[in-house]
Amino acid sequence: MSTPMSAARFLQALRNEGLTVVTTPGWETRNRNHKGPWGPVHGVMVHATVTGPKVDGVRICRDGYEGLPGPLCHGVIRRDGSVHLVGYGRTNHAGSGDPDVLRAVINEKPLPADNEATTDGNRHFYGFECENLNDGKDPWTPAQLEAIEKAAAALCRVHGWDERPVIGHLEWQPGKSDPRGFTMPAMRDRVADRLGDKPKPAPKPTPTPKPYVPPVFPAGLAPGRTTPSARALQRVLKATGFMPKATPEADNYGPVTEASVNRFHAAHPQYRAAGKTYDPNIGPRGWAYLHRLAYGR
């Protein structure tokens, strides 16, 4: 048993499904509730207006006609796929139908053939009238079929129904033929596919890499000196191609290391001591740049 959602929730459900929804003034309280109960609701019924493209189906479904006062549904689905809300509550759309069909809808079971018209459908179904001549020749536009699928799925999603409570008028009341031009089993398959598409989780933000920070320039690092930091200098010179990789590492800042540093300065003279053409001495700025060349990202 499902309590009808509020008019505001109904509107939001349709928009959440990606539909273009147009509201007519006063739709939220336009209904036939004074003629009978509204709810519990068990499904969604699809109809055809039996009108051509030059007829204002929205006006007819809002106001009704002689012998059948409006509203004649909750929403009108136009050929362009827009959904126009004309009423909310009990509306004159389903009429009397088969109690066995209603039981199947409630239990989400396959529908039996409709052969009785003894059960109030206006009480138990949301209804959408879809603009079409219903002659089997008037084409259903892709936008309109998609809107039917979305509208039905939106309401099923709110109530926790699967696709089986979505039925056509012809499956409810003997003698009815709408909708004609597509099959309700095919539409239920579309609704099932849509309900099965779970919202995709938002992509995880790509972490911003931390900027590379070179190691602090070691005190005492200078040509001719023996210090463990000479090995670190040799490793970074190898990593950047300024020292042959086969050169053994040593604590001694000797001639091979000096020549390698000078090659670095020749390639990047901005780090060479001013006025020198040969500079074997690595300074703090050159040390930092060497490390960024080798290990920076």
Q: What is the CATH number of the domain that holds 153?
A: 3.40.80.10
Are both 182 and 285 inside the same structural domain?
no
- Distances in Å between the Cα of 223 and the Cα atoms of 106, 184, 261, 283, 286 are 89, 87, 10, 11, 14
pLDDT of residue 200 exceeding 80: no
Q: What is the pLDDT of residue 211?
A: 87
What per-residue confidence (pLDDT) applies to 209?
81
Asked if residue 234 and residue 177 are part of one domain, the reply reads: no
Is residue 18 included in any domain, yes or no? yes
> pLDDT band for position 238 (50/70/90)?
very high
Residues 179 and 61 reside in one and the same domain: yes
Establish if 117 belongs to a structural domain.
yes
Asked if residue 216 belongs to a domain, the reply is no
Q: Rounded mean pLDDT of 6-17?
A: 97
- Residue 297 pLDDT level (bands cut at 50, 70, 90): low
- Between residues 294 and 71, the one the model is more confident about: 71
Over residues 146-169, the mean pLDDT reads 97
**In which domain, by residue range, is 171 found?**
7-196
Query: What number of H helices and E strands is found in the chain?
Result: 8, 10
158 and 267 in one domain? Answer: no
Number of domains the chain contains: 2
| pLDDT greater than 90 at residue 86 | yes
In what helix (H) or strand (E) does residue 75 lie, and over which residues does it extend? strand 75-77
> Residue 174 has which token pair?
């003997």
What's the rounded mean pLDDT across residues 163-179? 97
Q: Are residues 116 and 238 in the same domain?
A: no
Q: Mean pLDDT for the chain?
A: 94
Q: 63 with 151, same domain?
A: yes
Tokens of 144: 């309109």
Is residue 238 domain-shared with residue 156, that is, in the same domain? no
| Residue 187 forms part of a structural domain | yes
Asked whether the predicted pLDDT for residue 214 surpasses 70, the reply is yes
Q: Report the pLDDT value the prediction gives residue 206, as an integer from 0 to 100.
A: 80
Whether residues 189 and 274 fall in one domain? no
